[in-house]
Amino acid sequence: MTSSNSSGSTPLTLDTATFGTGCFWCTEAVFQELEGVVAVTSGYSGGHVKNPTYEEVCSKTTGHAECLNIVYDSSRISFDELLEVFWQVHDPTTLNRQGADVGTQYRSVIFYHNEEQKAKAEKYKAELDKSGAWDNPIVTTLEKFDVFYPAEAYHQNYYNNNSSQGYCQFVIRPKLEKFEKVFKNKLKKH
């Protein structure tokens, strides 16, 4: 998909990545900071219930994972670079859990949109497992993308809209600060 940027001069080459990294609040702000990322939407994917609500997803009966739908300009950031961030911003070795959040809705998952994304994710996962980057094996699942349901409006842009809230200060902010140090050369110029 190709479109023009806001000035209309340089064409954008848009693509989509969909990642589950546990609570979408925790990583939405991270992906929003990346140069080349056009939009990040929190939502649900991978389940069997159409148009689920947050409460339904939290009931652990929908099969959906909390995830991020990331639209990016592939001429400015690659899927490989997004995968690199994906592996760094959550623990891919804990089955259906991220920190205190427990349940299949918090699973580590890559919803691949095409065979190229699937192959890259498989390769990266195998290389990381082989490298011993983590003490435990990676349990991230690779699932074929089917449909994405945006979460309710209050979940969107959560950190930026609620940065003074305790959860944002004590859970999200430290993760964001660590990310900004590690990936400072990939951040948007403000």
Residues 6+ apart with CB under 8 A from 142: 109, 110, 112, 118, 121, 122, 125
Taken as a whole, the chain contains a residue count of 190
What residues are annotated to the active site? 23
C-alpha 109/C-alpha 184 separation (Å) is 25
Residue 92: closest CA among 131, 129, 28, 140: 140
Residues 6+ apart with CB under 8 A from 58: 103, 105
